[in-house]
Amino acid sequence: MHEAGLMQSAISSACEAARQVGAIRILSIQLRVGTEAGVAVEALQFAYDALVSGTLADGAPLILDKIDDSDILELARVEVVLP
Amino acid sequence: MTARVIEIHKSLLGKNAAQAARNREQFRHAAVAVVNLLSSPGAGKTALLERTLSDLAGELSIGVIVGDLATDNDARRLDNRNGPVIQLTTGNICHLEADMIARAVEMMELDALDLLIVENVGNLVCPASFDLGESYRVVLLSATEGEDKPLKYPTAYRSADVVLFTKADLAGLIGCDVKLARRNAEAAAPHAKWLELSAKTGQGMTAWYDQLRHLRQQMAAHQNLCRGG
What confidence tens digit (pLDDT) does each residue in A18-38 have?
A: 999 999 999 999 999 998 787
Checking if the pLDDT of B204 tops 80, the result is yes
* Residue of chain B whose Cα is closest to the Cα of A32: B9
The mean pLDDT of A63-70, rounded to a whole number, is: 93
Tell if the CB–CB gap between B6 and A80 is shorter than 8 Å.
Answer: yes
Please tell me the predicted confidence (pLDDT) of residue B126: 86
Checking if the pLDDT of A58 tops 60, the result is yes
Strand partners, B139: B38, B163
Segments in B136-198 forming alpha helices (H)? 149-152, 154-158, 171-174, 178-188
Q: How many whole angstroms separate alpha carbon B60 and alpha carbon B122?
A: 25
Identify which of B1, B94, B155 has the shortest CB distance to residue A36.
B155
Tell if the CB–CB gap between B10 and A1 is shorter than 8 Å.
Answer: no
Among B6, B11, B94, B97, residue whose Cα is nearest residue A9: B11
Which chain A residues are Cβ-neighbours of B10 within 8 angstroms?
13, 74-75
Greater pLDDT, A79 or B221: A79
A41 C-beta neighbours (distance < 10 Å), count: 16
Phi, psi (5° rounding) for residue B210? -60, -40
Q: Give the minimum alpha-carbon distance from B9 to chain A in angstroms, rounded to a whole number.
A: 4
Identify which of B2, B7, B126 has the shortest CB distance to residue A77.
B7
Please tell me the predicted confidence (pLDDT) of residue B17: 83
The mean pLDDT of B82-107, rounded to a whole number, is: 90
Greater pLDDT, B94 or B82: B94
Share of chain B above pLDDT 70, in %: 98
Which chain A residues are Cβ-neighbours of B130 within 8 angstroms?
2
Please tell me the predicted confidence (pLDDT) of residue B103: 95
Whole-complex ipTM: 0.91
Tell if the CB–CB gap between A83 and B94 is shorter than 8 Å.
Answer: no
Among A62, A37, A35, residue whose Cα is nearest residue A48: A62
Name the DSSP class of B170: G
Listed in sequence order, the residues at least 6 apart from B175 whose beta carbon sits closer than 8 Å to its beta carbon are: none
| pLDDT tens digits for range B126-171 | 898 889 999 999 999 999 999 999 999 998 999 899 999 999 999 9
The mean pLDDT of B65-86, rounded to a whole number, is: 86
Share of chain A above pLDDT 90, in %: 77
Tell if the CB–CB gap between A38 and B126 is shorter than 8 Å.
Answer: yes
Name the DSSP class of B96: -
Please tell me the predicted confidence (pLDDT) of residue A2: 74
Checking if the pLDDT of A81 tops 80, the result is yes
Containing A72, the helix (H) or strand (E) segment is none
Checking if the pLDDT of B226 tops 70, the result is no
Which chain B residues are Cβ-neighbours of A13 within 8 angstroms?
8, 10
CB pairs under 8 A between A and B: 76
Checking if the pLDDT of A53 tops 80, the result is yes
Please tell me the predicted confidence (pLDDT) of residue A1: 55
Best B4, B6, B7, B12 member to test A by mutation, with max A CBs in 10 Å, is B12
Checking if the pLDDT of B229 tops 50, the result is no
Q: How many whole angstroms separate alpha carbon A10 and alpha carbon A8?
A: 5
* pLDDT grade for B29, boundaries at 50, 70 and 90: very high
* Residue of chain A whose Cα is closest to the Cα of B153: A38
Q: Are strands B2-11 and A73-82 parallel, antiparallel or unpaired?
A: antiparallel
Checking if the pLDDT of B50 tops 80, the result is yes
Checking if the pLDDT of B116 tops 90, the result is yes
CB-CB contact of B189 with B157 (8 Å): yes
Greater pLDDT, B210 or B74: B210
